[in-house]
Amino acid sequence: MSGELWSTATVLGPIILILAVGFALFRRRKLSPVEKQDQKDAVRDIYRGGSGGPSAPHTAGPPKPEKDG
């Protein structure tokens, strides 16, 4: 009985994994042209030091080295 279960898991496991990955890739939604432009603008704003929107983390600059002593 144990051998049959292991054989079934060995065969069905990769098949289920491939189906799950394929389903996830198939269900991905493409960005509309407006969303693509908004994304590009937000990335450009972040790299230029802008706020990047309400969910962007606050980055004032590179971290300062700690002083020993």
pLDDT digits (tens, 9 = 90+) for 7-59: 999 999 999 999 999 999 999 988 899 999 999 999 999 998 866 555 555 55
Residue 10 phi/psi, 5° resolution? Answer: -65, -35
CA distance 37 to 21: 28
Q: Give the tokens for residue 33.
A: 């042209």
Element at 62 (helix H, strand E): none
Domain extents in the chain: 2-47
| Neighbour tally for 1: CB within 10 Å | 5
Query: Which pLDDT does position 41 carry in this prediction?
Result: 93
